[in-house]
Amino acid sequence: MGLKKSAAFILAMILLSAVVSGCGQDKNDSKWGINEFVIVLMPGEDSPEVMESRNVFDKALSELIGIPVKEYRATDYTAMVEAMRTGHAHVGNFGPFSYVHAVERSGAECLVVTGRPDGNGGFVHGYYSYLIANAAAGIETMDDLAGKSFGFVDPQSTSGNIIPSDIILDHFANDYPDLTFEDIHINGKFFSSVSFTGTHANSMQGVMRGDIDAAGVTNSTYQAEIDNGNADPDKIIVLNISPLIPTSPIAIQKDLPQELKDIVLQFFLDWDDDENFWQHRGGVGQRYIRVEDHEYDYVRVLRERYELTD
């Protein structure tokens, strides 16, 4: 399957902002050689509270580095990689798969992940991919997926595409020995129909409404949609839970000045604003913690296994 998407329209807001903010200014006006520090976030939707928490974070970082800081939501994962590759984003909150792609294509260097308290004074990170199904779709186990409709999130979504695909191919390896990664993304090859929903919440809601029979979503989305009343757990079956996946990293462009990269890293590590930030961005008590590139080698193995290198 193709992982490239047309870049002609992606990140329109970022490109427009870059043009507007750059008009009449020399690129080297600032100490860092850039006039604006751009952080691009994964696709999704923001509540007013989350947007305000972004403003608080951006203002504090801007005061520290001496230039405006702007955050944007990308249209998709490919857009994030392209934004960093073309210099329109300096930091990206990538998914694990899009991160390993960005390392190779865009010069990304991982900085931090969101860590949750482990109860012993430290922090842990990681999440899971759930394969879910509509309880009324005649699916009781993984064996019932063949011939049904399936919703993947995005071609570069780790927990919404790559790992669910791996789980499906592994499960059906004996019954369908010739089944390929591409096959399960083509209508009529294994699933009756296949779609890309754009976000984990869209996949969850598609299953809830019966628009799609099954999908892969993060455990956090699954729980959040139930907790906020948007999904009924009695109408959704969890068919499979993946191995632990390394948390989506925040990465910086490697060609930025080392001093700036060091300052930004420390800023993330020191950020402890529970009242204005963490309670809206995952939960009070969470913190940014250091992450190393080798933690994503599991994702690299899958990337190579299915030749998803471009």
For residue 62, CA distances in Å to 35, 49, 281 come to 11, 20, 19
Minimal CA–CA distance to 230: which of 212, 214, 209, 210?
Answer: 209
The pLDDT of residue 29: 65
**pLDDT of the residue at 282:** 81
pTM of the model: 0.83
As given in the structure block, the two tokens for residue 240 are 């499979």
Look at residue 200 and give its three-state secondary structure: helix
Q: To which H or E segment does residue 80 belong?
A: helix 77-85
**Crossing angle of helices 96-106/77-85, nearest 10°?**
30
Instruction: List domains and CATH numbers for the chain.
Output: 12-124+246-305 (3.40.190.10), 129-241 (3.40.190.10)
Structure tokens, 98: 């899009």
What's the pLDDT at 195? 98
Q: Which residues of the chain have pLDDT under 50?
A: 1-27
Tokens of 229: 């009343």
User: Which residue reads 């919440």 in tokens?
Assistant: 201
**Listed residue (98, 94, 163, 172) closest to 130, CA to CA:** 163
Q: Count CB neighbours of 307 within 10 A.
A: 10
Report yes or no: 290 and 269 within 8 Å, Cβ to Cβ: yes
Q: What is the tens place of the pLDDT at every residue in 124-175?
A: 999 999 999 999 999 999 999 999 999 999 998 999 999 999 999 999 999 9
What does the alpha-carbon distance between residue 65 and residue 69 come to, in Å, rounded to a whole number?
A: 9
Q: Are 278 and 284 in contact (CB under 8 A)?
A: yes
pLDDT of residue 243: 93
DSSP element (H, E) containing 38? strand 37-41
